Amino acid sequence: MTGTVGGAGEPTAAASGPVILVLGAVGGCGTTLVAGGIGLAWAHAGRPACLVELDVERGDLAGDWGLPSDRTLADLAPVAAELSAGHLRQVAYPHESGLAVLLGPGRPEAARPWRAAGGALLTIAAEGRAVVADGGSGLAGAAPAALSAARAVVVCPASVAGARRARRLAEHLDVLDAGRGAVLAVRRGARDELSPRAVGRAAGMEVTAELPWAEAEGEAISAGRWPAGRRRRLASALAELAEALA
């Protein structure tokens, strides 16, 4: 079996790359932005990579990135128990950045086939490339199964409520024996209630990245574009996080 998924950034070897599952402590904290930013940073650095929209019930990566939505993980549901790299190649989109992108269908009950097969999906996608998956907020749907194959990155706003939710999520990760390698990325903003260090203490997790608020950069990354220009605080932070995870 070859390690190819999609036509962009074809790998030259079948060795497995890092597999990262991005989870949000709360809804709307930037989980999709961070997952997409890690994938774009890898692609920008010339690393073969795949972005998987595992928030299959609520995600809209196709709309955000301007991709056609006629091929999604829903097409793989009938073969979820017997996935192969060939199946993934048929569904993945080659993005202009160099990423291969596996889209979620974004509809209710779409997570059902992946509650058991989420880990296998990411393992196969990682043959010959790095993989980052957007798991949405909390720990629901396909995310628990995906943790069997992935390292978790928890995205948390610098707020009391965010830190409290991150703590609860970290406890759930520990129960699933997935907390040892989990890391915390703190989203900064103008109305921060806590310092990143305080968020880490409250959540009981190591803060691996501080992601500053940068509106123009955030809009570009959310639309599937790596920001241009000299002052790229958010892009630089995401690139450092992507390198640390690789």
- Summarize pLDDT for 86-101 with one digit per residue, the tens: 999 999 999 999 999 9
**Positive or negative: CA dihedral 101, 107, 111, 114:** negative
pLDDT > 70: percent of the chain: 93
Residue 22 has pLDDT above 50, yes or no: yes
- Which comes out higher in pLDDT, residue 5 or 138? 138
What pLDDT, on the 0 to 100 scale, is given for residue 230? Answer: 77
Which of 4-8, 127-131, 152-156, 160-164 is predicted with the least confidence, judged by mean pLDDT?
4-8
CATH of 1-10+43-150, one of 3.30.70.360, 3.40.50.300, 1.20.810.10, 3.20.20.80: 3.40.50.300
Q: Where exactly does CATH 3.40.50.300 map onto the chain?
A: 1-10+43-150
What pLDDT, on the 0 to 100 scale, is given for residue 90? Answer: 96
Q: What integer best gives the mean pLDDT of the chain?
A: 91
What pLDDT, on the 0 to 100 scale, is given for residue 3? Answer: 34
Which of 130-134, 178-182, 231-235 is predicted with the least confidence, judged by mean pLDDT?
178-182
Residue 59 has pLDDT above 90, yes or no: yes
Give the 3-state DSSP-derived string for 144-204, with helices as H, strands as E and coil as C.
Answer: HHHCCCCEEEEEEECCHHHHHHHHHHHHHHHHCCCCCCCEEEEECCCCCCCCHHHHHHHHC
Residue 12 has pLDDT above 80, yes or no: no
Q: In angstroms, rounded to a whole number, what is the distance separating the alpha carbons of residues 148 and 92?
A: 22
Rg for the chain (alpha carbons), in Å? 17
Q: In angstroms, rounded to a whole number, what is the distance separating the alpha carbons of residues 144 and 213?
A: 29
What pLDDT, on the 0 to 100 scale, is given for residue 39? Answer: 98
